[in-house]
Amino acid sequence: MRPKGLPIYLCAMFNQRTKIKTLLDGEANNQEVTVMGWVRTFRNNQFIALNDGSTNTNLQVVAELGSFDDEFLKRVTTSAALKVRGILVPSLGKGQKMELKATAIEILGDSDPEKYPLQPKKHSLEFLREIAHLRFRTNTFGSVFRVRHALAYAIHKFYNERGFLYIHTPIITGSDAEGAGEMFRVSTLPFDNPPRNEDGSINYKEDFFGRNTNLTVSGQLEGELAATAFGEIYTFGPTFRAENSNTSRHLAEFWMIEPEMAFYDIEDNMNLAESFIKYLIAYVMEHNREDLEFLAQRQADEEKQLPQDKRSDMGLIEKLEFVLKNDFERITYTEAIDILLQSPAYKKKKFQYDVSWGIDMQSEHERYLVEKHFKKPVIVRNYPKHIKAFYMRQNDDGKTVAAMDILAPGIGEIVGGSQREERMDKLVERMKEMHIPTDELWWYLDTRRFGTVPHSGFGLGFERMVQFVTGMGNIRDVIPFPRTPKTAEF
């Protein structure tokens, strides 16, 4: 019966429960509580380790012998979902400060122990990728995705505190911001018999959007439009690259944070990017310490299997604290190449890829700079213009552009950005050099026609940031459902 005056939704809730993390953060004072979660282990027909995803730490539920039917207890198997009501008491056993003496147990969902693929033992990350729909239930991925959530929240918090406007840029676009051409096509035309022009090319005028469209590789160009009205904006959304790359650093679908700021030069841009990265790390260090400590121990255990020269110089938490306490090293691209050319690794021919001025530095070069030479994050600026995008501001030397990359230990490039070319004549000239049609980007050029200003921006690959903070070695393990070549099952 519902008490008078109370709305139905306050009384009819099934989910009157307390999360396990909330209980463990408090004290056990013989209070009655209800918890719900999944069975991790059940031993001696009495002790249930229950987990609800709010923390890696299980709550021990005690089903006193003789209090529950034996046939019922046979259904309490790994991953079965339970609703438990009981009395929360201090624990006399080792390893937990409290336990729940069950007065009522309800099985919400059975789990066949013969078929459930996650048993209470260590599984390889490769195996867990094959069952990505279930890997959330492991401690490793529980920690990874709680950290990912915290980082996503901290991103919005950082920009909101600084007065940036959050802009949603399109996922379907007719422009290629990078000029790379590695894009996924969006079309409703029949694959087997698309309409064609007289010259045999596909007639996109008959397509859904009336033109050739693709999944976005970046929201930057649209972000610039908003920045030249609002001053400071950021985007945070999915981006796509149709690169046939099966590496531990690449995904076909990933998330990007892309701020664009009017009245910022390259120096302002670097300062913001460094502050941003430190803010994210500090937030997670404060709010996800338990998960980071678990991941740090996991990384240390993994590295014990590696040769000494392959192990990290610092533990995960030590690395994060080091990044917070130290200014990022700032060098020019020319200085970076000189360092590589003088390095023992280059002289002993240990680099797989050659080094010379003008190359697009490979991951091995970037990691040498941050892990071996400077031993901290590095910001490299003033790259050769021929390896960078058309929109980057050309420097007075005629050879380089005001671009900057932030290189992080363990993964290499984590941020790429630049001061944008605000001078109309220089921008058009560069577009023509790179065969980028100015008529298709007339709307972008309007920002240079009508009140152009110096402005800058950068992109931070969210998964690479999560990878850096969690210490995970493969980028496929920091996104819920990785999209890579020949992989789109889940």
CATH code: domain of residue 77:
2.40.50.140
Of 16-25, 126-135, 238-247, 325-334, where does mean pLDDT reach its minimum?
238-247
Tell me: do 352 and 459 sit in the same domain: yes
Distance from C-alpha of 410 to C-alpha of 475, rounded to nearest angstrom: 12
Which CATH number characterizes residue 470's domain? 3.30.930.10
164-178, 318-332, 338-352: the lowest-pLDDT one: 164-178
Residue 10 has pLDDT above 60, yes or no: no
Q: What share of the chain is helix, strand, coil (3-state, %, to 5)?
A: 35, 25, 45
Whether residue 442 lies inside any domain: the answer is yes
pLDDT digits (tens, 9 = 90+) for 155-166: 999 999 999 999
Across all residues in the chain, what is the average pLDDT? 92
User: What is the enclosing helix (H) or strand (E) of 256?
Assistant: strand 253-262
Token digits of residue 108: 């919400």
Query: Please, which pLDDT band fits residue 171 given cuts at 50, 70 and 90?
Result: very high
Q: How far apart are the first and last CA of the chain?
A: 44
The whole-model pTM stands at 0.92
| Residues whose CB falls within 8 Å of the CB of residue 462, separated by 6 or more in sequence, listed in order | 151, 152, 155, 236, 254, 255, 256, 257
For 387-391, which contacts have Cβ atoms below 8 Å and span 24 or more sequence positions?
387/358, 387/359, 387/360, 388/418, 389/177, 389/178, 389/179, 389/418, 390/179, 390/421, 390/427, 390/430, 390/431, 390/433, 390/434, 390/436, 391/177, 391/220, 391/221, 391/224, 391/418, 391/420, 391/421, 391/427
Q: For residue 315, is it within any domain?
A: yes
For 127, residues 6+ apart whose C-beta sits below 8 A from its C-beta are none
Which structure tokens are listed for 88? 């929360």
Question: Do 454 and 367 belong together in one domain?
Answer: yes
Average pLDDT (357-362) is 96
In a domain? residue 484:
no
Number of domains in the chain: 2
435 within domain boundaries: yes
Residues 244 and 385 in one domain: yes
* Cβ proximity of 170 and 216 under 8 Å: yes
Question: Residue 66's domain spans which residues?
Answer: 8-109
* 158 and 254 fall within a common domain: yes
192 within domain boundaries: no
Residue 210 lies in a domain: no
pLDDT attached to residue 178: 58
Residue 96 shares a structural domain with residue 141:
no
Lowest mean pLDDT among 30-39, 104-113, 121-130: 121-130
Q: Are residues 104 and 164 in the same domain?
A: no
Tell me: do 376 and 302 sit in the same domain: yes
Q: What's the longest Cα–Cα distance across the chain?
A: 86
160 and 98 co-located in one domain: no
Please report whether residue 489 resides in a domain: no
User: Coil, strand, or helix at residue 445?
Assistant: helix
Residue 304: predicted pLDDT: 87
Residue 200 belongs to a domain: no
